[in-house]
Amino acid sequence: MFLSDSNLPFCPGCGHALVVRNTAKALKKLAVNPLDVVLVTDIGCHGIIDRNFHTHTVHGIHGRSVALASGIAAGLPEGKTVIAFLGDGGAVIGLQHLIEAAHRNFNLTAVVFNNMLYGMTGGQPSGLTPCGYRTPTHPQGTKERGADLCRRLHAAGAASVERVICRGDFSEAIARAIATQGFSLVEVMEQCPSYGSKHNPGRSVEDLVREAGLSLELLLNPGVTPCRFPERTNTASLLDLKPIARRHESGLDRRVSIMLGGSAGEGVQSAAELFARAAVSSGLSATKRGWYPVTVGTGYSAADIVISPDPILYTGTTVPDLAAITSNDGFRRCAPTLRSMRTGLVLLDEELPEPETEAKVIRTPLRRTAGRRGAALYALALLLREQNLFPLSALIEAHAQSKLSARLDLEKLLSLPPTGKS
């Protein structure tokens, strides 16, 4: 009913097959509709089981199955079942996700395939590997004590956690977890036949669990309330944004790329966006891509703008046709690109150093005329007037409709006599 094929894709002797069959059996016991089940897996041997389930399946990156499952569970209505499969390696990689899911009690069940090592990558120990357990990379046995995952998640507030041995029928434990309201976890202890059993001959899973000081126990936090987000019905969609009306005409017959460089907090990104909007209102295609360091409030701020009469299939720019630099931060960032310009035009603030470039350079008092927060837009307006890419009135109109109009009179600035020097 839940599995498409009785032949599961695991190594002979691997306990993963038994975990999968017990999960399917638990779902059958609970009379769950397969289409009401979402199974989330991630990287690891367990993750190859997706195709065998007749449920909805989602496959994520290593250690992230619980994070994905939490989002799914939070957004689904009641009556749905969300199960996350993960290995012991993934549990350690995504431990923060497990703790957060337990703390907030997202309504899901995490099933940990704990075979005490990373089986898919050659048998490295994980953070749950018991002390003394031998693996291919630790033939003398690991020196550190593995974490007690169940105790940690119980302490975090999970509604239910249970540790079982991967032997025989343990579907009742999984069914009990699935039926729990809130976050539940079943840690299934097993050994990898390829890297675990061979390096630990004669040691049973039961012995390993006991020697590690782990208990086969069910721990509950009764009375918790599952976390579920209310359905959002009034969220605006980007598809609902009002298109930019075409109010101007451009005679541009080629693709033009512009590099704008300045300093953080000086309106570089806003100026580039206004320029792009104005281009669109003139019947052109336009893209804008911003560049700035992770410390967005300091350092350089740069933008690449591309405008074209045709659709723009690539928004990148290797060597721009035009450039405008308004500050030392922008100059330092853009200087290597200016060196690669063999043609075109560079508009530069009068206080900046002479750039190494074969492009035509015009120096003008951008900051002295428009101030540090108006220099970027002023520079683009001057470039537009110089190159006649589309009507200047389109940019003036876009600016007048923006918040920037309150602090900068662009039309007045453009009426001043030109002071640029080549």
pLDDT for residue 295: 79
pLDDT for residue 233: 78
Q: Is 272 exposed, middle or buried (0-12, 13-18, 19+ CB in 10 A)?
A: buried
Q: What is the pTM of this model?
A: 0.68
Query: In whole angstroms, what separates CA 334 from the centre of its chain?
Result: 28
Query: In this structure, is the dihedral angle defined by the CA atoms of residues 377, 294, 62 and 1, taken in order, positive or negative?
Result: negative
The 10 Å Cβ neighbour count of residue 10 is: 19
Query: In this structure, is the dihedral angle defined by the CA atoms of residues 68, 70, 71 and 76, taken in order, positive or negative?
Result: positive
pLDDT for residue 415: 85
pLDDT for residue 421: 64
Query: In whole angstroms, what separates CA 148 from the centre of its chain?
Result: 29
Strands 345-349 and 300-308: unpaired
Task: Measure the CA–CA gap between 221 and 218, rounded to whole angstroms.
Answer: 10
Q: How far is CA 28 from CA 22, 37, 43, 143, 384, in A?
A: 10, 12, 26, 42, 69
231-278 residue pLDDT tens: 777 878 888 888 999 999 999 999 999 999 999 999 999 999 999 999
Task: Measure the CA–CA gap between 111 and 114, rounded to whole angstroms.
Answer: 9
pLDDT for residue 240: 84
List of the chain residues with pLDDT < 70? 417-422
Q: Residue 39's beta-bridge partner residues?
A: 57, 83
Site of tokens 């590099």: 259
